[in-house]
Structure 1
Amino acid sequence: MRLPRKEGLNIVPLVDIMLVLLAIVLSTASFIAHGQIKVNLPESSTAKVEQNDKKVIVTIDSLNNFFIDGNKIDKNDLKDKILQIDDRTQVQLVSDRDAKFSSFMEILDILKSKNHENFTIQTEMIK
């Protein structure tokens, strides 16, 4: 007497579909922006690269929007946020070359009013 053969679930088509979906997800994921702020930096022939573990990045984009560490901040809250920064923390100023100079000076005035002299201005190095 023969035992009945157990019919199983054929998972080969399921694996094929999952691999195709994985390939689609991985290929489209490379085209998604990583949320970085687009800034066209001014050029400088004397630019230096400085490394500091403790820093805050203040960015001005081409539309004169302010960002602190990548988070958009209202112009009215800008002074309060900058005044909360510790004096030992390095402030890295990143300004788009098309941004208004007055926006850049606003940040410098706030830093100067609190006697914060630990800041750098990020530029693009001329090769």
Structure 2
Amino acid sequence: MKRIDQINVLPFIDIMLVLLAIVLTTATFIGEGRLEIRLPDSTSQPAPPPPGAVEIGVDADGSYYLDAEPVTTERLATELDALDRSTPILLRVDAAARFEHFVAIVDQLKARRLERLTILTRKS
């Protein structure tokens, strides 16, 4: 019986597919940092606030406000813990505020499953 010497290419194809998936995944993250996004202005008529709504605000300096009263991040977290999941939340963030403040508030709301969120904008 004669032994047949051949190269098995199936493991090579498996490795190449995994490498292709890794390259495609990292390429999307690299390109994301270069996107220039200009947010549109709001042209819709402002809706009246829902009854019983709680307003959370962030000014240009990154200070937090709860119903126009200055609060610390710890007190804001405590107040959010006391809210019912059906409570409407109005979020007003200054245009000059850092985006991380907006993300921090949205993260706190998601962690507490407060999903009735309205983001307030200024009509242009």
TM-score (norm 2): 0.62
Tell me by how many angstroms 1:57 deviates: 0.4
1:118 is aligned to 116
Deviations 1:16-45 (A, max 9, x none): xxxxxxxxxxxxxxxxxxxxxxxxxx9423
What are the within-5 Å matches in structure 2 for residues 40-79 of structure 1?
43-46=41-44, 48-79=46-77
Identify the structure with bigger relative contact order (alpha carbons < 8 Å, sequence gap 6+): 1
Tell me by how many angstroms 1:70 deviates: 1.1
User: 1:60 touches 1:94 (CA, 8 Å); kept in 2?
Assistant: yes
- 2:113 is the alignment partner of 1:94: no
**Alignment coverage as a number of residue pairs:** 85
Tell me by how many angstroms 1:102 deviates: 0.5
Higher share of residues assigned helix = 2
User: 2:53 touches 2:88 (CA, 8 Å); kept in 1?
Assistant: yes
> Which consecutive residues of structure 1, in runs of 5 or more, have no partner in the other structure?
1-41
TM-score (norm 1): 0.60
Higher share of residues assigned strand = 1
Counterpart Cα distance in 1 of 2:43 and 2:101: 24
Counterpart Cα distance in 1 of 2:74 and 2:66: 13
Tell me by how many angstroms 1:46 deviates: 4.5
Deviations 1:97-117 (A, max 9, x none): 001111111110011111111
Q: CA RMSD in A?
A: 1.8
Of 60, 71, 79 in structure 2, the residue corresponding to residue 81 of structure 1 is: 79
Indicate the percent of aligned positions where both proteins have the same amino acid: 25
Deviations 1:55-106 (A, max 9, x none): 0000001111000011110122221211211112111000000011111111
